Amino acid sequence: MESSLKAIHQQSVPLVREIAGIWAEFLEGREVEAEDSFFEIGGNSLIGIRILDRLSETYGVRLSVRDFYLAQTPARIAELIELGRART
């Protein structure tokens, strides 16, 4: 299991950058890094919902609000998207 998570993480690097870019759009152009915590960099619940909608449209994976808030970083969101893609 750990090796499959590592493989997903390695494949997710470009995805993490894309997700960070999406977050930056909604956070007034702020630079967003892979491990930045959503709420610590200025995110709020309304912005979170808008980002979730964009992620769903862009990647075809529906994440719950709960999952988004628990994940909190672009890197973890990328892992959830990759896991969601693997299930379909």
The residue ranking higher by pLDDT, 6 or 30, is 30
What is the CATH number for 78?
1.10.1200.10
CA separation for the pair 32, 38 (Å, rounded): 9
Contact 81, 59 (CB under 8 A): yes
Total domains in the fold of the chain:
1
Query: According to the model, what pLDDT value does residue 6 have?
Result: 52
**Domain coverage including residue 54:** 2-87
Query: According to the model, what pLDDT value does residue 81 have?
Result: 95
Contact 59, 79 (CB under 8 A): no
Is pLDDT at 1 greater than 60 in this prediction?
A: no
